[in-house]
Amino acid sequence: MLNLAAVQLGNTLAFSLGYPEIIIIVVALLLLFGGKKLPELARGLGRGLRLFRREVKGLQDDIEGADENEKSRQALPPKEDSKKDTDERAG
């Protein structure tokens, strides 16, 4: 059976979190940071993730744009050397 929450790494399962593990993590965070600090931390984490996603999307768009420019350059015939033409006329 396929478990989408778990990734098989050798003989161990990684990232397999159930409800008991999540509850333990939340309780530990409450004890460490307190109830007033957690919303601020979550807000900062959300802003950081949004910024990260925006930057990744920008990089992907730049890469796709570069690929399209390269394809369009390959489709165009090569330009003739204009300096060669002017040298022949002058000579």
Check residue 65 and give its pLDDT.
Answer: 83
Q: What is the pTM of this model?
A: 0.46
Between the alpha carbon of residue 49 and those of residues 25, 45, 54, 64, 74, the distances in Å are 20, 6, 9, 22, 38
Answer whether residue 6 shows pLDDT above 60. no
Check residue 83 and give its pLDDT.
Answer: 58
Residues 39-88 pLDDT 10s: 898 899 999 999 999 999 999 988 888 877 777 777 666 666 555 555 55
